[in-house]
Structure 1
Amino acid sequence: MILNKTSWIALAILICGAAVNAQIPKKLPKKDIVKKNNIDTLKKKTEQDTVKKSSLKDYKILLKKAKTLDGIFKVHQIETDYYFEIPFKLMEKDFLLVNKISAVPMAINEAGVNKGMNYENKVVRFQLNKLAKTVWVKTIVPQVESPAGDAITQSVKDNFTGSVIETFKIEAYTPDSSAVVIKVNKVFDGTEKSFNDVFTNIGLGTSPKTALSAIEQMKSFPQNVVVRSLLSTSVTEGQNTIAISVAVTTNLLLLPEQPMKPRFADNRVGFFSTPRWYFSDRQQKMETRELITRWKLEPKAADRDRYLKGELVEPEKPIVFYVDPSTPKQWRPYIIDGIHDWQKAFEAAGFKNAIQAKLVTDTADFDGDDVRYSVVTYAASPKSNAMGPSVVDPRSGEILESDVIWWHNVMTSLQYWMRVQTGVIDTGARKNNFSAEQMGHAIRFVSSHEIGHTLGLKHNMGASFANPVDSLRSPAYTAKMGGTAPSIMDYARFNYVAQPEDKVQHITPQIGVYDKYAIAWGYRWLDTKDPREELELQKEWIAKHQNDPLYHYGEQQSALNVVDPRAQSEDLGDNAMKAGMYGLKNLQRLVPQIKDWAAEPGESYYQAGKLYMATIWQWNAYAEHVMANIGGYYLENPVAGDGKKAYTPVPKATQEEAMTYLKAQLFNLPQWLFNPELLSNTFAIKDTPLGPFEYGPYNLKREQQYGLMYSLVGDERLLRLLEMESIYGADKVYTAAQLLKTVRETAFKQTLNGRSLSLDERQTEQNYVDVLLVSTDKLMEKVNKKALQPVKNNLPELCDLTPRAFKEQPVTNLADLRNVYINSMTRTSDVAASKRGELLKILEILEKNKTKGDEATRNHHMDLILRIRQSLKIN
Structure 2
Amino acid sequence: MRALLPLILGFLAITAIHAQSFEKTKGLEKFDGYFDFYYDVGNDKIFLQVDKLEDEFLYVYSLSSGVGSNDIGLDRGQLGNEQVVFFKKAGNKLMLIQPNLKFRAITSNTLERQSVEQAFAKSVLHGFKIEEESNGSYLIDFTEFLMRDAHGVSARLKSRKQGSYSLDKSKSAVSLDRTKAFPKNVEFDMMLTFKGNPDGAFIRSVVPTPSLVTVSQHHSLIELPDDNFEKRLYDPRSGSYPFSYYDYSTPVQESILKRFIPRHRLKKKNPEAEVSEAVEPIVYYLDNGTPEPVRSALLEGGRWWNQAFEAIGYKDAYQVKILPDDADPMDVRYNVIQWVHRSTRGWSYGASVRDPRTGEIIKGHVSLGSLRIRQDFLIAQALLKEPFRGNDENYKPMLDMAIARIRQLSAHEIGHTLGFAHNFAASTNNRASVMDYPHPQFEVRGSKIEFPDAYDTGIGEWDKVTVAYAYSDFPKGTDEKRALNDILEKAQKDGLRYLSDQDARPMGSASPIAHLWDNGKNATNELEDVLRVREVAMQNFSTDNIKTGEAYSVLEDVFVPVYFFHRYQTEATAKIIGGEDYNYQVKGDGQAGKQVVPRAQQQEALKMLLKTLSPDVLAIPERQLELFPPRAIGFPRSRESFKGKTGVSFDPLGVAETAASVTLSLLLNPERVNRLVIQKGFDNRQVGFGDLLNELLTNTINANQQTGYKNEIQQVVNWQVLQHLMHLADSDKVYPQVKNQVLKSLQQILKQSTGKNYLYTVELTKYFENPANYKLKTKAPKIPDGSPIGMDCMN
Superposed displacement of residue 648, structure 1: 2.0
**1:109 Cα offset (Å):** 7.0
Find out whether 1:378 has 2:339 as its counterpart.
Answer: yes
Q: Secondary structure at the match of 1:99?
A: strand
Matches within 5 A, 1:406-421: 406-419=368-381
Q: Does 1:272 align with 2:241?
A: yes
Cα separation, 2, equivalents of 1:505 and 1:691: 28
Match of 1:523 in 2: 471
Q: Deviations over 1:160-207 (max 9, x none)?
A: 352212111112223xx24211111101123xx5x5544335656643
Partner of 2:12: none
Aligned equivalent of 2:673, options 690, 700, 718: 718
Between 498-507 and 72-81, the greater mean CA deviation after superposition: 498-507
Check if 1:841 corresponds to 2:748. Answer: yes
Residue 550 of structure 1: aligned partner: 496
Quickly say closer, same or farther: Cα 1:83–1:329, change in 2 above 3 A: same
Residue 658 of structure 1, CA deviation? 0.8
What is the 5 A alignment of 1:126-145?
126-129=87-90, 132-145=91-104
The count of residues paired between Structure 1 and Structure 2 equals 723
| Cα 1:725–1:355 shift into 2, 3 Å | same
1:591 aligns with 2:515: no
Q: Is structure 2 residue 128 aligned with structure 1 residue 168?
A: yes
1:515 Cα deviation from its structure 2 partner: 0.7
Question: Out of 37, 43, 46, which is 1:82 matched to?
Answer: 46
Residues 18-40 of structure 1, C-alpha deviations (whole Å, 9 max, x = no match): xxxxxxxxxxxxxxxxxxxxxxx
| SS, match of residue 314 in structure 2 | coil
Change (3 A) 1:254 1:270: same
What amino acid is aligned across from residue 684 of structure 2 in structure 1?
A
Structure 1: segments with no counterpart, 5+ residues: 1-57, 468-484, 780-822, 852-857
The residue that corresponds to 1:304 in the other structure is 271
Q: Does 1:541 align with 2:487?
A: yes
Larger deviation, residues 238-247 vs 387-396: 238-247
Is residue 185–residue 222 contact of structure 2 (8 Å, CA) maintained in 1?
A: yes
Match of 2:139 among 163, 174, 181: 181
1:697 aligns with one of 652, 655, 669: 652
Q: Show the counterpart of 1:287.
A: 256
Q: Post-superposition shift, 1:84?
A: 1.1
Amino acid at match of 2:572: H
User: CA-atom RMSD, angstroms?
Assistant: 3.4
Kindly state the Cα deviation for residue 504 of structure 1 after the two structures are TM-superposed. 7.3
SS of alignment partner, residue 533 of structure 2 = helix
How has the CA–CA distance of structure 1 residues 742 and 865 changed in structure 2, closer, same or farther, with 3 Å as cutoff?
same
Unaligned residue ranges in structure 2 (runs of 5+): 1-19, 205-209, 774-795
Q: How does 1:621-770 map to 2 (within 5 A)?
A: 621-670=568-617, 673-682=619-628, 687-688=637-638, 695-726=650-681, 728-731=682-685, 733-750=686-703, 758-770=711-723
- Contact kept, 8 Å, 1:336 with 1:357, in 2: the verdict is yes
Mean CA deviation greater in 144-153 or 251-260: 144-153
How far apart, CA to CA, are the structure 2 residues paired with 1:291 and 1:199?
Answer: 35
- The aligned counterpart of 2:781 is none
Identity fraction in percent: 22
- Measured at CA, do residues 711 and 360 of structure 1 come closer, stay the same or move farther in structure 2, by a change above 3 Å? closer
Alpha-carbon displacement from aligned partner over 1:688-707 (angstroms, at most 9, x marks no partner): 37998665111111122123
Which amino acid in the other structure matches residue 773 of structure 1? Answer: M
Q: 2:48 and 2:677 mapped to 1: Cα distance?
A: 64
* Aligned residues of 1:598 and 1:605 also touching (Cα < 8 A): no
Q: By how many angstroms is 1:611 displaced? A: 2.2
* Structure 1 position 336, deviation (Å): 1.0
Contact between 1:751 and 1:757, CA under 8 Å: does it hold in 2?
no
Q: Deviation per CA, 1:192-246, whole angstroms, max 9, x where unpaired?
A: x5x5544335656643112222222232111111000011112423499621011
Residues 238-294 of structure 1: CA deviation (Å, up to 9, x unaligned): 499621011111111121141622112111122122222222263245421332121
Contact conserved, 2:340 with 2:368, CA < 8 A, in 1?
Answer: yes
Tell me which amino acid in the other structure corresponds to 2:675.
R
Which has the larger share of helix?
A: 1
Q: Aligned with 2:214: secondary structure?
A: strand
CA distance in 2, matches of 1:420, 1:288: 52
1:425 & 1:678 partners in 2: Cα distance?
A: 16
- Take 2:550 and 2:449, find their aligned partners in 1: how far apart are those partners? 34
**Cα distance in structure 2, aligned partners of 1:282 and 1:463:** 39
Instruction: Give matches, 1:460-609, under 5 Å.
Output: 460-467=423-430, 485-496=431-442, 499=445, 505-510=452-457, 511-526=459-474, 534-556=480-502, 557-609=504-556
Q: CA deviation at 1:582?
A: 1.3
Distance change in 2, residues 1:423/1:255 (3 Å): farther
Which residue pairs with 1:830 in the alignment? 737
Counterpart CA distance in 2 for 1:429 and 1:774 is: 49
Amino acid at match of 1:156: V
In the TM superposition, residue 606 of structure 1 has moved relative to its aligned partner by 3.1
Q: Displacement, 1:536? A: 3.0
Identify which range, 352-361 or 397-406, moves more after superposition.
352-361
Aligned mates of 1:611, 1:101 — CA distance in 2: 35
Aligned partners of 1:128 and 1:135 also within 8 Å = yes
- Asked if 2 retains the 8 angstrom alpha-carbon contact of 1:75 and 1:83, the reply is yes
The letter of the residue matching 1:395 is: R
Residue equivalent to 1:396: 358
- 1:216 aligns with 175
Q: Give the CA deviation at 1:105.
A: 4.9
**Superposition pairs for residues 422-433 of structure 1, below 5 Å?**
none
The Cα of 1:152 is off from its aligned counterpart by 4.0
User: Residue 758 of structure 1: SS of its match in structure 2?
Assistant: helix
**2:255 aligned with 1:255, yes or no?**
no
Deviations 1:626-656 (Å, cap 9, x if unpaired)?
A: 2121111113222223444543211111110
Q: Is the 8 A contact 1:270 1:457 kept in 2?
A: yes
Query: Closer, same or farther in 2 for the Cα pair 1:289/1:86, shift >3 Å?
Result: same
Contact 2:424–2:498, Cα closer than 8 Å, also in 1: no
Residue in 2 aligned with 1:100? 62
> Kindly tell me: are residues 433 and 679 of structure 1, through their superposed partners in 2, closer, same or farther at Cα, counting changes over 3 Å?
farther
Change (3 A) 1:669 1:564: farther
Distance verdict in 2 for CA 1:646–1:742, change over 3 Å: same
Q: Which has the larger radius of gyration?
A: 1
Judging changes above 3 Å, is the alpha-carbon distance between structure 1 residues 840 and 376 closer, same or farther for their aligned structure 2 residues? same
Which residue of 334, 344, 347 corresponds with 2:297?
A: 334
TM-superposed CA distance for 1:764, in Å, is: 2.9
* Cα deviation, residue 379, structure 1: 2.2
- Equivalent in the alignment of 1:156: 116
**1:423–1:263 distance in 2 versus 1, CA, 3 Å:** farther
- Distance in 2 of aligned mates of 1:866 and 1:717: 28
Report the CA distance between 1:138 and its aligned residue. Answer: 0.9
Q: Secondary structure at the match of 1:226?
A: strand
In structure 2, what is the Cα distance between the partners aligned to 1:771 and 1:242?
A: 42
CA contact (8 A) 2:166 2:196 kept: no
Does residue 321 of structure 1 match 2:284? yes
Q: 1:116 to 1:873 in 2, by over 3 A?
A: closer
Give TM-score, length-normalised by structure 2.
0.83
Q: Over residues 108-158 of structure 1, what are the superposed CA-to-partner deviations in whole Å (9 max), with x where a residue is unaligned?
A: 4774532111133222221122xx121111123423343333464332222
- CA–CA distance in structure 1, aligned partners of residues 764 and 736 of structure 2: 26
